[in-house]
Amino acid sequence: MNSKVLTIAVVAILVVAGAAVAFVALGNGDSKHKVNIDAGNLVYGNANNDPYINNDDVKFIQDIIDEKTTWDSAKNPLADANNDGFITQADIDQVKMIIDNKSGKVWYQTYLGWPMEITYPLVDRNIFVSYWQQAEAAAILGIWDDVKVANAYVTQVKTHQYDLTHVVEVESVSTNNWYDTTFTTFADEEIDLIMVTPNQNNYDKCKAGYMDTHPNCEIILLSHVGNNAMSAMLTMGILFNKEARAEAYAEYCYGAIEDIQERLNGVEKKNVMVTMTTPKGSRTAVCCGTAYEGSVNLISQIANVYSGDAQTAYGQTVKDQLWYTEDAQDKWEIIFMNYSSIDWFTCESQQQFNEYFDKVAAFFEGTEAYKNNGMCAMPYVCGGYAAYAMAYYCAWYFYPNLFTEAEAQKNLQYWFDNFCCQENTYFGDKTYTAANAFIYYTGDNYTTLVQKYQKENA
């Protein structure tokens, strides 16, 4: 029975999306290349699970109606475009509404496992972004000018990346803390769209604190984390009528990984442990859940990555210092250190970045990775949509004989030029580019694989 309940249930477990071929200029070259977008959007009407909503979906649904094929609601749940539990002409009409960019209501699958109805298209909205990843999404989609309120992490830590002249700050630098004054600000700024880190607490707080009394306000519950990011961006591309920008983002990401993987064909992959670290304390979080943690998700596509016992929803677990030197763990050639709360430009100087590195790396001094030039570090950007901007830097860190700093800079600069809301990011009077951002270690107290290779081939 193709019931509505069944439809909702199977969408939640749909994990493999259709692939599509697109053309993109890869980060390391200027030639056009076919790239597979191996993800699907989560808008109801995407009958064939690919990145798009187009006439292929109309045909797919028509074939079901004409009984040329049978609807498998487990494999193609989004074919039920109007989410009523049946495949009828109304589903074709719904898909055509989206194709023709006509106003109406559509359904999308939330990260929390259930479908949500929302206005289509989402234009001329007053938007709240709850954390830095949602701010990244707004920049990628070209809707930053519609952001009216932002979490303090965006307005205090990410000030160099966004024009904040039209943005009001709310109090917390956490994505999970809510105050009455937050919702008062929402009302003052007439917020009618909330883009939030998708967990049940955030939804419940927003609903009870604001949405129940402001019925015109809607919410985006899509995940930026790990391998969810691509489907989330493709989904928002449709909802905001920004498909071209969302697809360009997906092509950029998949193009980079495809190129790196082709060049690593036949090469023995490095064994990498990814950590989230701060320059203080005696404990650190191991990022280990490939489906959830962005750094692990990225690096697992170009190296062998530790993927052990995740204890948090974000794919992390906390270990003490001695754990890293135990035999079971001490086989990793590289320890990749994410700097928590440190991004491309937060450091005041390269010297400060190097000092962070020296202090954090000392935590791992007893490991084989430390003893064999295997420490490397990156500002924490991989937990958001910007992860793939660092793909070539990761490849260069791990395989300096195969990849270069120049192509890593080129790939990052492409991100700055095409997916940031400023013509270039800035801090005060300084304009940042890939060439002058603080991204990797240049100090004298430790020798990384890159530094070792450079010295040996000087």
Model confidence pLDDT, tens digit, residues 107-146: 999 999 999 999 999 999 999 999 889 999 999 999 999 9
What does the pLDDT read at residue 283? 65
What does the pLDDT read at residue 7? 35
Determine which helix (DSSP H) or strand (DSSP E) holds 377, and give its type and residue range. strand 375-379
CA–CA dist 149, 129 (Å, integer): 7
Determine which helix (DSSP H) or strand (DSSP E) holds 296, and give its type and residue range. helix 294-299
Mean pLDDT across 82-91: 97
What does the pLDDT read at residue 345? 62
φ and ψ at residue 119, rounded to 5 degrees: -65, 140
> 99-113, 277-291, 381-395 — which is least confidently predicted?
277-291
> 311-315, 317-321, 437-441 — which is least confidently predicted?
311-315
What does the pLDDT read at residue 202? 93
Tokens describing residue 131: 């954390």
For tokens 């983002």, what's the residue?
Answer: 249
What does the pLDDT read at residue 282? 62
pLDDT beyond 80 at 409: yes
> 225-239, 255-269, 347-361 — which is least confidently predicted?
347-361
pLDDT beyond 70 at 32: no
Mean pLDDT of the chain: 85
> 6-10, 59-63, 344-348, 420-424 — which is least confidently predicted?
6-10
What does the pLDDT read at residue 24? 44
Q: Percent of the chain beyond pLDDT 90?
A: 58
Q: Please name the residues in contact with 5: beta carbons below 8 A apart, sequence gap of 6 or more.
A: 85
What does the pLDDT read at residue 284? 73
CA–CA dist 1, 36 (Å, integer): 34
Helix (H, G, I), strand (E, B) or coil at 142: coil
HSE on the CB side for 52, CA within 13 Å?
Answer: 18
pLDDT beyond 70 at 330: yes
Model confidence pLDDT, tens digit, residues 198-251: 999 999 999 999 999 999 999 999 998 777 899 999 999 999 999 999 999 999
Burial 333-345 (b: 16+ CB within 10 A, else e): bbbbbbbbebbbb
HSE on the CB side for 103, CA within 13 Å?
Answer: 3
pLDDT beyond 60 at 270: yes
DSSP state, residue 364: G
CATH class as words, domain 271-456: alpha beta
Alpha-carbon dihedral 301, 307, 311, 315, rounded to 10 degrees: 0
pTM reported for the whole predicted model:
0.89
HSE on the CB side for 177, CA within 13 Å?
Answer: 9
The model's confidence at residue 430, banded by pLDDT at 50, 70 and 90, is: low
What does the pLDDT read at residue 322? 87
**Of 318 and 144, which is predicted with more confidence?**
144
